């Protein structure tokens, strides 16, 4: 997922940048660039690039879930990305309005691309906490993991067995559920991830790409 976002970002970064953003003929206009620059880890010029790309995909200035799914499906033509895109959309839609504005998009992107390890892990926890009760249970983790496998499609190598997602979830909980109460708290999630060298290496690699 992180590399897909990075690829999208760099695609638009290669475009010729105009000095001023075109913000006419849209239903929603984003907050001032100075305010977004202060709230994110992007420069004003980078925000201009991102807005051009966002408006190209979403001329109205907002994106609903169905449009988001259509855009995201382009990255995974051999799988079914609809469920993962559904969970991802609701992680971006922090106000639960049913639509994602440019501000929502760029705030999340700033965390995923330029945030600290702690910020990235908190965002990931929120993605996995589907019902937003402050905990991750096994069923939520199973739903996300299965959605990821569905998204990757039948061309994964090696070919995955049907019970592989459940095995991964069992390993996840054995590692993270420190007090064995069947749920993973944010503190448990942060502690376990930062103890796992594989997770930390992948996060560091992504940070270096940006």
The structural domains of the chain, with segments of one domain joined by +, span 43-114, 131-209
Closest CA to 182 of 136, 127, 124, 113: 136
Report the CATH number of the 131-209 domain. 1.10.238.10
Pairing of strands 99-101, 183-185: unpaired
* Confidence at residue 209, expressed as pLDDT on a 0 to 100 scale: 38
Q: Would you give the DSSP letter of residue 134?
A: S
Backbone angles phi, psi at 55, to 5 degrees: -70, -30
Question: Are both 43-114 and 131-209 of the same fold?
Answer: yes
* Confidence at residue 47, expressed as pLDDT on a 0 to 100 scale: 92
Dist. CA 159–CA 200, nearest whole Å: 26
pLDDT along the chain (210 residues), means of 10: 50 43 47 86 92 88 92 85 94 92 92 90 93 95 88 61 76 89 95 82 50
127's enclosing H/E stretch is helix 117-128
Report the CATH number of the 43-114 domain. 1.10.238.10
* Confidence at residue 72, expressed as pLDDT on a 0 to 100 scale: 85
* Confidence at residue 99, expressed as pLDDT on a 0 to 100 scale: 94
């Amino acid at each position: 997922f992180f590399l897909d976002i990075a690829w999208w970002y760099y695609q638009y970064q290669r475009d010729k940048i105009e000095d001023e953003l075109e913000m006419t003929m849209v239903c929603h206009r984003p907050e001032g660039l100075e305010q977004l620059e202060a709230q994110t880890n992007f420069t004003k010029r980078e925000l201009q690039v991102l807005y051009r790309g966002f408006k190209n995909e979403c001329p109205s200035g907002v994106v609903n879930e169905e449009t988001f799914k259509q855009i995201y499906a382009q990255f995974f033509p051999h799988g079914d990305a609809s469920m993962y895109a559904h969970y991802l959309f609701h992680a971006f839609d922090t106000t639960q309005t049913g639509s994602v504005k440019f501000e929502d998009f760029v705030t999340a992107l700033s965390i995923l691309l330029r945030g600290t390890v702690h910020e990235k892990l908190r965002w990931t926890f929120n993605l996995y906490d589907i019902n937003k009760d402050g905990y991750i249970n096994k069923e939520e983790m199973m739903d996300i993991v299965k959605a990821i496998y569905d998204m990757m499609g039948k061309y994964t190598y090696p070919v995955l067995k049907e019970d592989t997602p459940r095995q991964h979830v069992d390993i996840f909980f054995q590692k993270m559920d420190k007090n064995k109460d069947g749920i993973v708290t944010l503190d448990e999630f942060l502690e376990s991830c930062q103890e796992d060298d594989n997770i930390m290496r992948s996060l560091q690699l992504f940070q270096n790409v940006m």
